């Protein structure tokens, strides 16, 4: 699977991506806004475990963000189940060296187009920590609408925060 964007490619994870994954993911400014399963420090062991776990994807939902043949970030979907089974959530991160170039806005748009064309979903949502206006801006630029603020929904690094719920419909 490969989706060509402007200045980056979304593609599958290769076993030899672990070193560049570890290098770009190992940053507390990134983990601060993600689920605790994206740790800091981000060890080589964790990187190997991640790429190993993604060698077979059915359906294909987890992309590496490739710039100049190096993995510099990730973008993925989680498919919900039961009555939420037509909804996916989206998550993403980018290595700090690449921030501020519009890469993630374009990557989210490309990923959303892929999801609506290839996954059986009609809604994509994202929960953004209140201290992350950059990510809210990315979603707004990619066409998401803020639907709700879930008060005190999250505890991250021992700080309780609101979560802002964004969504885009097919
Ligand atoms: C959030 C993240 C993915 C953004 O990637 P990026 O490629 O730098 O984003 P873009 O360049 O496409 O867009 C960033 C936008 O946020 C804006 N921005 C930056 N800092 C901001 C701030 N403090 N407040 C408001 N907007 C801000 C930029 O100006 C830009 O908007 P513009 O094009 O209108 O000027 C990246 O910073 C990251 O990986 N952060 C850590 C992990 C994370 O937060 N993941 C998302 C979890 S929901």
pLDDT digits (tens, 9 = 90+) for 135-158: 999 999 999 999 999 999 999 999
Residue 56 pLDDT level (bands cut at 50, 70, 90): very high
Rounded Cα–Cα distance for residues 146 and 136 (Å): 9
Residue 79: which domain range? Answer: 2-169
Ligand 1 contacts CB of residue 133 (under 6 A): yes
Total domains in the fold of the chain? 1
Rounded Cα–Cα distance for residues 94 and 99 (Å): 7
Please state whether beta strands 123-129 and 87-94 pair in parallel, antiparallel, or not at all (unpaired).
parallel
Ligand 1 contacts CB of residue 33 (under 6 A): yes
**What per-residue confidence (pLDDT) applies to 112?**
98
Closest ligand 1 atom number to CA of residue 127: 48
Ligand 1 contacts CB of residue 71 (under 6 A): no
For residues 127-132, give the mean pLDDT: 97
For residue 1, what are its two tokens? 């699977």
Closest ligand 1 atom number to CA of residue 138: 13
List the residue whose alpha carbon is closest to atom 18 of ligand 1: 134
Nearest to 164 by CA among 139, 132, 133, 127: 127
Q: What is the CATH number of the domain that holds 48?
A: 3.40.630.30
pLDDT in tens, 88-119: 999 999 999 999 999 999 999 999 999 999 99
- Count of other CB atoms within 10 angstroms of residue 96: 12
Ligand 1 contacts CB of residue 128 (under 6 A): yes
- Burial code of 16-47, b = ≥16 C-beta within 10 A, e = fewer? ebbebbbbbbbbeebbebbeeebebebeeebb
The SS3 call for residue 145 is: strand
pLDDT in tens, 8-21: 999 999 999 999 99
**What per-residue confidence (pLDDT) applies to 165?**
98
User: In whole angstroms, what separates CA 9 from the centre of its chain?
Assistant: 14
pTM: 0.98
Helix axes 18-25, 44-53, angle to 10 degrees: 120
List the residue whose alpha carbon is closest to atom 34 of ligand 1: 137
Ligand 1 contacts CB of residue 38 (under 6 A): no
Rounded Cα–Cα distance for residues 167 and 3 (Å): 22
């Amino acid at each position: 699977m490969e989706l060509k964007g402007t200045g980056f490619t979304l593609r599958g994870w290769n076993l030899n991506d672990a070193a560049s994954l570890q290098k770009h993911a190992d940053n507390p400014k990134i983990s601060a806004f993600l689920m605790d399963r994206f740790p800091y420090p981000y060890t080589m062991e964790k990187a190997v475990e991640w790429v190993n776990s993604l060698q077979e994807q059915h359906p294909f939902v987890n992309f590496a963000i490739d710039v100049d043949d190096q993995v510099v970030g990730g973008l993925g979907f989680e498919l919900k189940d039961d009555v939420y089974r037509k909804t996916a959530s989206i998550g993403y991160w980018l290595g700090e060296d690449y921030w501020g170039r519009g890469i993630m806005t374009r990557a989210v748009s490309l990923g959303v187009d892929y999801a609506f064309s290839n996954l059986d979903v009609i809604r994509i949502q994202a929960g953004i920590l209140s201290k992350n206006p950059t990510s809210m801006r990315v979603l707004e630029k990619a066409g998401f609408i803020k639907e709700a603020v879930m008060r005190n929904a999250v505890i991250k690094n021992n700080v309780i925060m609101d979560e802002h719920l964004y969504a885009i419909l097919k």
